[in-house]
Structure 1
Amino acid sequence: MEVLNSVLLLILAATLSVAVAYDPLDPNGNITIKWDVMSWTPDGYVAMVTINNYQMYRHIMAPGWTVGWTWARREVIWSMVGAQATEQGDCSRFKGNIPHCCKRTPAVVDLLPGVPYNQQIANCCRGGVVPAYGQEPAAAVAAFQVSVGQAGTTNRTVKLPKNFTLLGPGPGYTCGPAKVVPSTVFLTPDHRRKTQALMTWNVTCTYSQHLASKYPSCCVSFSSFYNETVIPCAKCSCGCEHKSCVRSERDSKRLAVTGKHAAAAPHATRVHGGGAPASLLQCTTHMCPVRVHWHVKLNYKEYWRAKITITNFNYRMNYTGWTLVAQHPNLDNITEVFSFDYKPIVAYGSINDTAMFYGLKYFNDQLMEAGPHGNVQSEVLMRKDASTFTFRQGWAFPRKVYFNGDECQMPSPDSYPYLPNAAPAAASASLVRSAVVVASLMLLMA
């Protein structure tokens, strides 16, 4: 029996380790890095590298992506267009023409907007920011060109790079090995002729929230028109271990002036390249950077209305191009969304219970840092489905909520605003237990 239990535990552990990066609402979401060898050079090749974000609602936000790998031999990067290596490395063995990068493990970042035209290429130079595929499919790609030296000069002699890494902008991505695939076919600008890459390989990277952080990065709270009780985010939803915070915007400005904001938030870490400031959270019981509040606002004869408010509690972070995903059985009957954009997400066949919300361009697509302007909100009008609609037992509240692709901490299943004539399940169970005890005592006394 003990042997059987051990085997079952091993199988369970293996299953969890494989499924850790699996997102049931976006089962095919990944980032694919594609290398197309476009021409051979005397000592290597010129390749076009594209980074395709196939994730429906997770984008790569500022300070952007960093792609790294390990060369198979002693390859060098002679030049790049649309990106640059973060370090040149030791190029002392070269005389005259010095390579752009000689490191065995280069790290490459996107260029910032506004670089000279001769350093640009299509889909480059956006500071590494790549929107989600479900939000902007045409823009969910980044690209750069690289000239590789001291490499093979034929399909048989080229050795694929190894150990690919992707930061975007923090941890959480795991990349598989490079695999040779059928060569990419391109259309000429006039769309009258097809050309083909000399060689193509792909690298697939998947995201795991569990690898990115020990705790969630957001939480959810509830309220309703029919109950004065507000169900807050659970205490320490995003972890309270070794976290410092500030109690007001005034304190955050004082820390910024004195240069002590990093010391005030020792739990915060800087992302790659030091480009992002350390987080500085407003003091809350939940200690989350972001809170999503779902309020059941109005009840009509054929419709009902919910209000969604997203609040930023981080004094050092603006969320540009944010996304919000909610799973609720009545989201297949959305009639109107006010002041947000909206797209349905159909993960399994015809089940349409998930919606992605995001800001209107140049209006509220940027969630500002904590303070008086650190929130965005909208209302959603939904048609009632006579077969399923009810306000009882928390039906009107979402089952899952994601912000920027990370799943938020939900309140416990039995803690939602109850209808005035409905007793909480816990209280009902307590009354039943009390009745049983009283009945038992009466039998003993009889």
Structure 2
Amino acid sequence: MDPSKSISAFQINVFKMPPDLNRSLLSPPQNWGISGRLNPSYKCGPPVLVSPSQYPDPSGLLSDSAAMASWQVVCNITKPKGVGPRYCVSFSAYYNESIIPCPTCACGFPANTNRMFSTKSPALLLPSQVLLVPFENRTTLSTAWADLHHFPVPNPLPCGDNCGTTGGWSARITIFNWDEIPFVDWFTAIELDKAAPGFEAVYSFNGSTLNGVNNTIFMQGLPGLNYLVAETDGANPQKDPRVPGKQQSVISFTKKLTTGVNISGGDGFPTKVFFNGEECSLPKVLPKSNSHIFGSSLLTYVILALAVFLAMQK
């Protein structure tokens, strides 16, 4: 995606030890491997002797010098046999109330299959709030949703997706400008009393935690993009409503430093929000889960997508 970040270079000093002191006999390091994060399984072949590499002469002359010897090691991403996916995807759309969940056993069969659940029954459609609930606590809510909308309920009920979990959660911030004046070089600060220590990155803005303040994330637009346009006419001004200017980004958090955060209880929402130095008004009610059976351990199971709306009005 970024050619400037597609190459990594390092240097290894390899020494000879007695009795191997023959300077003309060179043996490259063996047993190469790569440890990846997104693709952790790699298989590397042995070093293969290739034509000596050329590099600029250290004296500064225009001519190139050749290395004494060069080897090539080829490593490929591998997937162990019998290993299925580690993650799955659910679908949602504004024109449908139901969430299409991950398929049954999407990431393999459970270690101890419960006879009450089937590995072949199709996954039940879900209301949006149930995505915040661990699979083992979804039965009542999902079957009630099916009864409300007259969806078929298989018997036995389907097993879960058994997919891996992430080490945190993500949030989405959307900034709306309902005014007729654009904001140039805008900035915003968000206080998250319990979740801020887990802040990792913001992807479409510049963002960081404030020095000496462990509960506040400071964000502004990227260079050249720090301009929040004013409200404009719709495509058809006679019929369509006015359209606000907006910018949005995703913020990722890790649970390593926030193991006690209860996202479903509202800990993932800001306690204060400032835009261009002015404190914003926040809702007095937070969107919380309707279930009473899950608490702080929920963070282990889910990715939460939330929206923080900052309405800029006259």
Same fold? TM cut 0.5? no
* Higher strand fraction (1 or 2): 1
Question: RCO greater where, 1 or 2, for CA within 8 Å and sep 6 or more?
Answer: 2
Q: Which structure is higher in helix share?
A: 1
Give the TM-score normalised by the residue count of structure 2: 0.36
Provide TM-score, normalisation by structure 1. 0.26
